[in-house]
Amino acid sequence: MYTTTRSTFVISTLIIFIFDLIYGDDAEKAASKKQWKRQENAFVIATNDAKEADEERRMAQIISKLQRLADERRQLQQRGNLRFKADLERQKAQLMEALGENNESGVFKLRTTTTAISIN
């Protein structure tokens, strides 16, 4: 952002450039053109720097958003895992209650049995 002093300086410099280009002798015109080109280059550099800073800011925002989304996905996955574990515990408790078991080992033995009929 330009301050009032900076704006006044830029305007007065432009007026001097224009005056020298129109009314000055050849040496003044050449010096004015040279200074004009320097100013023009300075403006181009400042514009490019501003564009680069804006691009960096946008990239930082995108990275931040992607990190936030990854964190949200991770939290959702953790909540899903916790729900799944809670459901398993609830099912195990229901099965133990239905079988009248007080010991988990009996329930696990029942879960690991097969439905195959022995050949003997």
Residue 117 pLDDT greater than 90, yes or no: no
Residue range 31-82, pLDDT digits in tens: 888 888 888 898 899 999 999 999 999 999 999 999 999 999 999 999 999 9
Q: Comparing 14 with 101, which gets the higher pLDDT?
A: 14
| E strand or H helix at 106 | helix 104-112
| Among candidate residues 37, 6, 34, 32, the one with its CA nearest the CA of residue 17 | 32
Q: Kindly state the tokens that stand for 102.
A: 């007080």
Q: Kindly state the tokens that stand for 27.
A: 């040496």
Domain boundaries, the chain: 4-112
The set of residues, in sequence order, having a beta carbon less than 8 Å from that of 99 and lying 6+ positions away, is 106, 107, 110
| Among candidate residues 4, 33, 41, the one with its CA nearest the CA of residue 17 | 33
Q: Kindly state the tokens that stand for 96.
A: 């133990």
Rounded distance, CA 96 to CA 89, Å?
A: 10
| Residue 96: band (very low, low, confident or very high) from pLDDT cuts 50, 70, 90 | confident
| Residue 1: band (very low, low, confident or very high) from pLDDT cuts 50, 70, 90 | very low
